[in-house]
Amino acid sequence: MLVLGIESTCDETGIALVKDGQTILSNLVASQTDLHEAYGGVVPELASRRHIHMLPLLLQNALKETQLTLREIDLIAVAKGPGLVGALLIGLHFAKGLALSRSLPLIGVNHVEAHLFAAMMQAEVALPALGVVLSGGHTALVLINELGSYQLLGQTQDDAIGEAFDKVAIMLGLAYPGGPKVEKLAKGGNPTRFAFKTGRTKNRPFDFSFSGLKTAVLYQVKGQNGTSKGQDLIREEDKKDVAASFQHVAFSDIVNKSLSAAKQYQVKSIVIGGGVSQNGYLRALLNAASPLPLFWPHPELCLDNAAMIGALGFHDYQRRGADDLHLEAMPRIPFIGLPCSHTS
Ligand code: KG4
Ligand code: ZN
């Protein structure tokens, strides 16, 4: 079964052609970094407009590079949420237009679930597994009983981990998106120089809190209550130690909580997903500490992409059949207890 995957939840436009939920024939991503960089974050209206422009172009390119035609596509899978409502609507309308004109089945896919599935699509993962979602919008520990059956064990009470990286990057004078730049700066730094701490999450052992950590970094760089009047208090050469210490503290918390959840729920493996899973320091920490097999997404499947949407769409379709054309954008769709997407 050939699935066309469509991704437009935030600031990456993605089109992919995936066979039988596993084999990626084409996976095209158009990043919008150039568009949003000057604003230090994603501007929703600009993102939507770029999606309108890019989706047809990427589809044309994907068909060209695979020498396939629309006639060979069997199913259209589109990310229905969570994400920016305008951006989601563009992807959904594009998907619905194609489905209607080609009389093809359509299925809406949960973007966060797809991030977790990215590492599972080409591997034999022993279940139950612990899912660790680390993206720009989400940070969560999830018990994966089987595909489509999840239990939320914990999540962030404030910032998502990727969001914390992006904000710390701005404090350190690095451009958006900051995650990879903080990682790069941290490479030559001392991870134990600054004793930052993550927040306490009372009675919620698998929750996270990164906002206090972020403020501690701000105070270290700019002084408490803006005492430095916008000037940096630390020297340029010390910034790498701030980046390394922030990264070390944030990831140690994630690794410790992941391993303790894995132990408590007696899982057989750990699956990691989302943009932050690209970070080499995190991979090294968890690889060294985990007694269980770890499943990391292939580098081209860590960040937002349509291959993970197409692959999960295939499995969702096998399990629950197609959605109809009333499928709506779900900007705040919960990961667990997914609402039924059949609206009629
Ligand atoms: O999963 P993703 O592509 O988008 C969402 O669904 O949110 O994740 C994007 C996030 C951004 O916050 C970005 O800064 C972060 O992932 N990120 C990283 C790295 N690469 C991307 N964070 C830390 N280290 C990286 N190497
Ligand atoms: Zn994402």
The per-residue pLDDT for 339 is 36
The per-residue pLDDT for 338 is 41
Distance 179 CA to ligand 1 centre (A): 6
Q: What is the DSSP string of 58-115?
A: HHHHHHHHHT--GGG--EEEEEEESS-HHHHHHHHHHHHHHHHHHT--EEEEEHHHHH
Please choose from 84, 110, 165, 332 the residue to mutate so as to test ligand 1's pocket, defined by most ligand atoms within 8 A of CB: 165
Contact 132, 254 (CB under 8 A): yes
The per-residue pLDDT for 227 is 67
The per-residue pLDDT for 226 is 64
Distance 322 CA to ligand 1 centre (A): 31
Residues with CB under 6 A from ligand 1: 10, 115, 135-137, 162-163, 165-166, 177-180, 183, 274-276, 278-279, 303-304
Comparing CA positions, the residue from 215, 236, 237, 135 lying closest to residue 167 is 215
The per-residue pLDDT for 83 is 96
The per-residue pLDDT for 223 is 87
Contact 113, 335 (CB under 8 A): yes
How distant is the alpha carbon of residue 183 from its chain centre?
17
The per-residue pLDDT for 334 is 78
Q: Enter the tokens of residue 246.
A: 């922030």
Q: Look at ligand 1, atom 13, and give the residue with the nearest C-alpha.
A: 179
Average pLDDT for runs of 10 along the chain of length 344: 98 98 98 91 95 98 98 98 97 98 98 97 97 96 95 96 96 92 97 96 96 96 76 90 98 98 98 98 98 97 98 97 97 64 30
Where on the phi/psi map is residue 53: left (φ > 0), alpha (ψ -120 to 50), or beta? alpha
